[in-house]
Amino acid sequence: MSSGTTAASSADPHWASIRPAGCWSVKANPPCPCTAERSVSAALPDLLLDLGHSRVKWGWGRHGQLLESGTGACPLTDLAPLAGALATANGRRALLSGQSRIEVVNAVTTLIEGCGLSLQRIESGAPELLVKPAYPSLGCDRWLSLQWPWQQAQQACCVIDCGTAITVDLVDQNGLHRGGWIMAGLGSLQRGLLSLAPGLPPPKAPAGTSLQAATNSAAAITAGILCQLLGGIDRALDQARRTLGSDPQLWLTGGDAELIEAHLDRSLIRDRHLVLRGLALAADAQ
């Protein structure tokens, strides 16, 4: 099981050291320079970017695999960590899954192009991967998050992504995406409640540490919202089991995954990088 989501960010410095070999055997004819250049380009990793509603996450991929070093994340309100990671990066190209506002997409695009990388925006269903989207307008991040779990086990699975929104997506035993559910995430529920009832106290931090009946309003809001989320997830998973006739393998990802996992009484796999892993597979499919 993976460790919790981290917000730390830094590009892996060893990418800057990837260079073509400087010499060949004197007994052999040196390879054609254009062939060597293509070989070095293929060896460079791809920059993978998951642009969500509140954060941008990035990593590096090669041959369909996410390279665990060099992953990072930062809020959309402060892209300086991403700019710092890109300053020492040496990649082949950039692939972007973008769910955010157009002005944020444009700002990230400017950073990428400033590094001299070509940028390709990935859309649901293109390139073709093992799990096809159930409908054309499915969010690209949801579609990408299904690819790695299915590839690993080739069995029915549910992916729960706990971010600004909580999504629960179902893949059956034949690898068909059967659709899913979308709910407001923890922070979204808290902000929505306080915006409509400004007289209420803000929830106590850290959010969701207890589900016990509270003796003050701030703690009651914290526990109540978490109960609401857990109830929605449990109900969706019960419906998934009825649809499939058996319990699917459960995968958990997203910024609030660690918190949700602590209160879900179910066996699951937590992996904070499912969208980036899907992007690595998309890069390899092209």
- Do 276 and 61 meet the contact criterion of CB atoms below 8 Å apart? yes
Crossing angle for the helix pair 217-244 and 186-196, nearest 10 degrees? 130
Question: Residue-wise over 59-72: b if at least 16 C-beta within 10 A, else e?
Answer: bbbbeeebbeebbb
Distance CA 29, CA 170 (A): 55
141 is catalytic: yes
- What the block records as the tokens of 112 is 């990428």
Task: Single out the catalytic residue among 141, 161, 169, 256.
Answer: 141
Question: Which residues have a catalytic role annotated?
Answer: 141
